[in-house]
Amino acid sequence: MPRVDDTTFFESWSTQRKAYKNSARPFLIGLSSGICIGIAILLTIYLGWYQRANMELSSNMNPFVFIIAIVGISIFMAFMYRNYQWEKNEQRYLSIIARKKQTEIKE
């Protein structure tokens, strides 16, 4: 993703910062990354790369619990991704404000 210059970012983030915290787009991006991690775990187990996990799964693992765990991981990843993106943008916004105040004090 190309980096937007500070003035464009400042204008857009000042209008979007309240709505972004509850936005579905970053949540869906995080959800898809969580699902990819879940699919990677499933592939690792079912392809037999880790034999102990494969034995454990076939002996006493309830598949419903396993799917619930993957859904939980996906939702957690989605929540954390959205909060991480919001915090990163908020820090950039606040640093721009601080730089503007510094230049005003020097002038």
> Quick check: 78 and 27 in contact, CB under 8 A?
yes
How do residues 59-76 score in pLDDT, each as one tens digit? 776 778 888 888 898 898
* pLDDT tens profile 13-49: 888 888 887 888 888 888 888 888 888 888 877 777 7
The set of residues, in sequence order, having a beta carbon less than 8 Å from that of 86 and lying 6+ positions away, is: 17, 20, 21, 26
pLDDT in tens, 78-92: 888 888 999 999 999
Q: Is the pLDDT of residue 107 over 50?
A: yes
